[in-house]
Amino acid sequence: MLLSRALRLFRSFNPHRPAAAVGALLVAGVVPGFFFSSLRAQPAVSNVQAVQLPDTMQVVITYDLAVATGRNNLVSVAVSSDGGVTYAPAVGSAGAVGWQTASGTGQTVKWDVGAQWPGQLLPTVKARVIVADSLALIPAGTFTMGNSLSGGGEGESDELPLHSVTLPAFSLAKTLTTWAEWQAVRTWAVAHGYPDLTEAGAGMAPGHPVHSVSWYDIVKWSNAKSEMEGLTPCYYTNDAQTAVYRTGLVEVSNSQVKWEANGYRLPTEAEWEYAARGGLSGKRFPWGDTIRHTLANYSSSAAEAYDGSATRDYHPAYQGGCTPYTNPVIAFAPNGYGLYDMAGNLLQWCWDRNGSYGSTAQSSPRGSVSGTSRVFRGGCWTYSAALARSAYRGDWGPDNHDFLFGFRYARSVVPLNTATVVTESPDFSVCTLPPVSLAVWLARPEVPVGQRTPLAAPAGDGVTNLMKFALGVPPLESAAAHLPQPVMVPLAASTRALALDFTVNPQAQDLRYAFEVSDNLVAWTEPLAFVEPLGANPDGTVSVRLRELTPPVAARRFARLRVSISESSVLIPAGTFTMGDNLGEGNDNERPLHSVTLPAFSMAKTLTTWAQWQTVRTWAVAHGYTDLAGAGVGKAAMHPVVSVSWADAVKWCNAKSEMEGLTPCYYTNNAQTTVYRTGLVDVTSAQVKWTAGGYRLPTEAEWEYAGRGGLSGKRFPWGNSIDHSQANYNGSTAYAYDGSAKLGYHPDYAGGATPHTSPVTAFASNGYGLYDMAGNALGWCWDWSGDYGSAAQTSPRGPAAGETQVARGGVWYFAAFSSRAAARYYYYVPDSGFRDLGIGFRWVRGSVP
């Protein structure tokens, strides 16, 4: 179990174009077995457990699911920080959630706790897995359609007159159609006569809504979903309703819709507004008359008096990374009918052609019989609260695609089985602690000088300084009274689980607490385990119990607690290598081959992540690095930051150095007295403190040496061929050494908006333990670009001046040629501020810590 640090507008609208030290204790133990229930007609969810993953801000929630085949299930996760009193949707949850999750044991969901609950230790957390039908029953009824609050001068003229509408019962999807669901149906559709859908749609993540779909795309996709599930399609290209609409841009008329069919279709505008109000009449929004960011994803503005958000502009939880700033489809509370996102996230296409309201009462209206534009409803992440009102109407051409638009589907039939099953996990704790440096603690003056290293064992008790710090032992005190205590925890059926009770120091950052077990004191394994809180102590420590999550049947006799430092970098050993293209296939600038000798240095294991960038940037902006305020984007917390200029990266390295109390490397004068914090400065080699202990960019020679991972003379860090199982790049037949089965962008990461980056540890590391040295994103290097020489060199730092800066490492949008270890790329000079969605960086430190 990791006890880790916390990863701490209104817009005008055009209605025609919307925009290692170890402590061990031994103990006997017994573990139980467990069984799973069989499939039943009603969904069954059981064995819900949750645990925080080591070295991450991710919580893994596992559960067993039994559902009837073909059932349209919707699985979601809610979490509680008060032991189950109140719940909120698990922001950023991914995995076995969403539409039609299949039966299975050990279903896994990852939840980004750092994005939802940054801060202190949360001792009593629960997770709730909810399985429900993906369709909500909207009951038959009559409502007043239009803007009932127009007397206050709000709204548009097309929202009036108010008129009575009566509707029969129907079914409506609880959520916007997700990117995952769109792709699942689209794959079937393209293979069954729907060729137009091949490239249609995009999405930020599987659980986010699909966007960039036209009205025509959606109508054809709805037919495909119907046919895929053996239902009768709703849309046809002739009045006789015999030719199913599968291809082309057809102006389907009301008479060409089989309204009584049991297949999927778009809701009419009247159905949408009736459902959106959720049974609450005469209100501005589905929940009442005011709005704020805790209720919906929209762009907050002071222009509307009913907008009570404490934060303005985009929703603060979703505006990081690349547009569109959508949210997962179950991120906010549902309305009275169990529908999510009926006010915000994405605008939603409806069936109707645009037309004026009448004042007479209507029954099941289906819009105007003429006209070209189609109606959309529902508000959007980029528009103000005015567009999120239940009465708001907009229209656009049906052939348009935009990342502001999504949809949800309806059915004329009502669901036969709407049972909802809720199952909770036992209590667990989440440790998201304040950023206090381990190195700072170890250097405190009250600790004797000889005891300040992590592996030192002061006071003659054999317990290392690192272990003392982790357990909250005062610096000069014996650890005897603080060591972990073995216990056996009673479980069901008279079985017991092995556990350790100990205290945790809330200041212990960058540490990993591992629960290890053994049968023979020789072979030790680390099972999945979780922390149970036992209470806070007067000295500021927290008492916890660490035990196996699912002990095996075989007896486990011994347990120990291992505390180690979580390393984010690796030591690159001193050495000599041949730099350049030894295969003679690259560009001229990759030759001549020449010998380079380098001293040892440390390099980050991964490209700098979006989460790491933001953590340092927040500190930096408050400490004189004002240029970094809007720099950089990232697709997700563990994806690389991109769109950073060379100057951005250099200043960020200085900020990280200063934040951690290290000497910065980059200055704006040769005397190295003025730290580089702002502006676009062409820093020279003389203005770099190469012997400083702070962070810097690697030289080009350091990058290639480390990138090869100790494997000399090969094309890539692992050998001479490449495929998509090894790196994130653009597959192509142009290179014989590219063995990917699928051409184009990496199939696992091509979905959604650009950049099509991958998580920074998605592929195997090279021989030095470095990830993404051949793909994902290019990394800035220190050097100006220049020609190689043939003479042997020691610690080269590139030309003294130049016009372009070097970047290395391959990228998601380039072919395999760019991923070669010898490949060199040049980009604009630092003072241009050039940024690109394919360029990030990783840091090095010139002296080994």
Got the DSSP string for 19-69?
--EEEEE-----------PPP-SS-EEEEEEEEEPTTSSEEEEEEEEE--T
* CA neighbor of 204 nearest in space, from 342, 380, 327: 327
The average pLDDT across 271-278 equals 98
289 in the Ramachandran plot: left (φ > 0), alpha (ψ -120 to 50) or beta? Answer: alpha
Reading the block at residue 260, the tokens are 């009584």
Alpha-helical segments (H) within 479-592: none
* CA neighbor of 557 nearest in space, from 587, 522, 592: 522
Whether the CB-CB separation of 170 and 155 falls below 8 Å is answered with: no
Paired with 499 in beta bridges are 487, 547
Burial of residue 520, with CB atoms counted within 10 A of its CB: 0-12 exposed, 13-18 middle, 19 or more buried: exposed
Q: Is residue 200 very low, low, confident or very high in pLDDT (cuts 50, 70, 90)?
A: very high
Query: For position 190, what pLDDT does the model report?
Result: 96
d(CA 359, CA 794): 85
The answer, yes or no, to whether residue 386 has pLDDT greater than 50, is: yes
Query: For position 417, what pLDDT does the model report?
Result: 55
Whether the CB-CB separation of 141 and 446 falls below 8 Å is answered with: no
More confident residue, 511 or 486: 486
Residues 185-194 pLDDT 10s: 999 999 999 9
Residues 143-185 pLDDT 10s: 999 999 987 789 999 999 999 999 999 999 999 999 989 998 9
More confident residue, 737 or 470: 737
The answer, yes or no, to whether residue 849 has pLDDT greater than 60, is: no
Query: For position 568, what pLDDT does the model report?
Result: 80
d(CA 355, CA 368): 5
The answer, yes or no, to whether residue 798 has pLDDT greater than 90, is: yes
Whether the CB-CB separation of 291 and 723 falls below 8 Å is answered with: no
Comparing 215-224, 339-348, 755-764, the range with the smallest average pLDDT is: 755-764
Query: For position 548, what pLDDT does the model report?
Result: 80
Whether the CB-CB separation of 221 and 196 falls below 8 Å is answered with: no
The answer, yes or no, to whether residue 703 has pLDDT greater than 50, is: yes
More confident residue, 590 or 535: 590
d(CA 107, CA 96): 6
Whether the CB-CB separation of 766 and 773 falls below 8 Å is answered with: yes
Q: Is residue 14 very low, low, confident or very high in pLDDT (cuts 50, 70, 90)?
A: very low
Query: For position 57, what pLDDT does the model report?
Result: 66
Highest mean pLDDT among 113-127, 274-288, 433-447: 274-288
Could you give the percent of the chain with pLDDT greater than 70? 86
The average pLDDT across 629-638 equals 89
The answer, yes or no, to whether residue 430 has pLDDT greater than 80, is: no
Query: For position 718, what pLDDT does the model report?
Result: 96
**pTM beyond cutoff 0.85:** no
Distances (CA, A) of 214 to 200, 352, 704, 706, 778: 8, 14, 46, 47, 34
Query: For position 830, what pLDDT does the model report?
Result: 61
- At residue 272, what are phi and psi to the nearest 5 degrees? -60, -50
d(CA 471, CA 386): 53
The average pLDDT across 490-505 equals 83
The helix/strand/coil state of 730 is coil
The average pLDDT across 658-687 equals 92
Query: For position 56, what pLDDT does the model report?
Result: 61
For residue 55, which amino acid is it? D
Mean model confidence pLDDT for the chain: 85
Residue 770 C-beta-side C-alpha neighbours within 13 Å:
32
The average pLDDT across 567-574 equals 82
The helix/strand/coil state of 610 is helix
